[in-house]
Amino acid sequence: MFRAVFRLSSTGARCLVRSKPSISAPLASRCYSHGQVETDEEFDARWVTYFSKPDIDAWELRKGMNTLIGYDLVPEAKIVDSALRACRRLNDMASAIRILEAVKDKAGPHKEIYPYLIQELQPTLSELGISTPEQLGMDKL
């Protein structure tokens, strides 16, 4: 009995599918708004530019960093690099360490992200003389 029902429903389903034109839309055309979706590269570039401002002030650094941490993502190495250089321009070592702590915290349970990030940032860290929280023993209680 069930098999008959299934056969009936499957033919019915097939008829339905055939009558409707298939919507094989590309990824970008979502139906929620007519606006353009920003790509990852555009997002990264925007933030790198933000932190790269030569005369960035402390408020802008804080605002940028707090906003960035508010997003549901771990910032790319280039964004963090740009932010660390902004800290250097502002002579703020404490914020640099704080930023590293914050991105580690953003990674949450994904423990492999932070070591990768540090590996990517190592040239900058050595150049600017920034120690990681681990090197300072600040990741322990």
Partner 1 sequence: MLATRALRLLGKRAISTSVCVRGGHGVAKIEAYTLPAYFDRRENPLPDVCYVQDLSAEQASLKEKEQGAWAALSNEEKVALYRISFKQSFAEMGEGTAEWKSVIGGVLFVVGFTGLIVMWQRKYVYGPVPHTFDPEWKAKELQRMLDMRMNPVEGLAAKWDSENKQWKK
Angle at 49 between CA 89 and CA 102, to 5 degrees: 65
CB of 113 to partner 1, least distance (A): 15
CB of 106 to partner 1, least distance (A): 9
d(CA 111, CA 35): 35
Closest CB to partner 1 among residues 35, 129: 129
Structure tokens at 112: 């492999």
Residue given tokens 């402390």 in the structure block: 58
Structure tokens at 123: 């040239």
Binding site for partner 1 (CB under 8 A): 61-62, 65-66, 69-70, 88, 91-95, 97-99, 101-102, 104-105, 128-131, 133, 135-141
Closest CB to partner 1 among residues 53, 98: 98
